[in-house]
């Protein structure tokens, strides 16, 4: 049996360990902290416990597939609850916008802010969904080593649809006129630590992903001996 050592017991390391173990490898995970889990952890002190996150999940299918590879059911271990509204955005001028995953409800919120942007929002969501579906053919299914490999999974028209020379902010501005709505949609990429003015337009897919937000309740015993 081939042995594999994984340095780091965060979510990525644990996912790799599970996948490799299911393929028959002898896996050892090395973790320097007191617990495995990385960001998915807990801090305790003075009688209090705090989850460090992540407590929200935008792509449940990733974990569902991981558990299926191990012959398990994700939903036997965690409870996934759809969040509505997902959050409330506050602006300096006093305006607020609630983000809803339910499309009719979100459209009403869009129209409350800017009726002229309702149709543009639907077009933007189609644009976002297209980006997501294209990435499902490559980025989300495989570990890519460069442009040559990326081209092997996409036709030239598909690559052009990814708007490789445009930023996320420019894509948002193409469909949405109201500055509040632009800022709301552009904020989605800031959640992962990027700037909408520098991040590529393909990151516009985050609207498609984010509008399916769910909350995770873990059924885990953190007690250590």
Between 178 and 142, residue with greater pLDDT: 178
Q: Which of 128-137, 157-166, 198-207, 213-222 has the lowest mean pLDDT?
A: 213-222
**Residue 154 confidence class, pLDDT cut points 50, 70, 90:** very high
Q: What is the pLDDT of residue 225?
A: 38
Average pLDDT, the chain: 89
* Predicted pLDDT at 214: 62
| Cα–Cα dist 209/189, whole Å | 11
Predicted TM-score (pTM) of this structure = 0.81
Query: Are the C-beta atoms of residues 192 and 170 closer than 8 Å to each other?
Result: no
pLDDT category at 13 given cuts 50, 70, 90 is very high
138: left (phi > 0), else alpha (psi -120 to 50), else beta?
alpha
41 vs 56 pLDDT, higher one? 41
With a CB cutoff of 8 Å and minimum separation 6, the contacts of 92 are: none
**83-92, 142-151, 159-168: which has the minimum mean pLDDT?**
142-151
What is the average per-residue pLDDT within 164-181? 96
Q: CB of 51 within 8 A of CB of 188?
A: no
Counting residues of the chain whose pLDDT is more than 90, the rounded percentage is 63
Q: How far apart are CA 141 and CA 160, in angstroms?
A: 20
Q: How confident is the model at residue 175 (pLDDT cuts 50, 70, 90)?
A: very high
Q: Length of the chain, please?
A: 225
Q: What is the rounded radius of gyration, in angstroms, for the C-alpha atoms of the chain?
A: 20
> Cα dihedral angle (13, 14, 17, 23), rounded to 10 degrees?
-120
In angstroms, how far is CA 145 from the centroid of its own chain? 21
Spatial separation of the C-alpha atoms in residues 210 and 51, rounded to whole Å: 21
Whether 221 has a pLDDT exceeding 60, the answer reads no
pLDDT at 222: 44
Domain locations in the chain as residue ranges? 1-54, 87-210
């Amino acid at each position: 049996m081939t042995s594999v050592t994984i340095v780091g017991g965060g979510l990525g390391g644990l996912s790799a360990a599970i996948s490799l173990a299911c393929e028959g490898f002898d896996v050892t995970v090395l973790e320097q902290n007191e617990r495995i889990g990385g960001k998915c952890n807990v801090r305790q002190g003075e009688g209090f416990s705090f989850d460090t996150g992540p407590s929200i999940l935008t792509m449940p299918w990733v974990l569902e597939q991981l558990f299926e590879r191990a012959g398990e059911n994700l939903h036997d271990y965690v409870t996934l609850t759809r969040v509505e509204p997902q959050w409330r955005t506050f602006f300096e001028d006093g305006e607020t916008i609630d983000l809803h995953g339910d499309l009719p409800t979100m459209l009403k919120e869009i129209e409350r802010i800017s009726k002229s942007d309702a149709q543009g929002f639907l077009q933007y969501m189609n644009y976002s969904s297209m980006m997501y579906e294209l990435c499902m053919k490559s980025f989300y299914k495989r570990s890519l080593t460069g442009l040559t490999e990326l081209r092997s999974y996409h036709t030239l028209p598909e690559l052009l649809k990814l708007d490789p020379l445009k930023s996320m902010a420019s894509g948002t501005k193409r469909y949405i006129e109201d500055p509040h709505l632009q800022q709301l949609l552009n904020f989605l990429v800031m959640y992962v630590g990027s700037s909408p003015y520098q991040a590529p337009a393909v990151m516009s897919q985050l609207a498609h992903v984010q509008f399916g937000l769910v909350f995770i309740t873990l059924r885990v015993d953190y007690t250590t001996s």
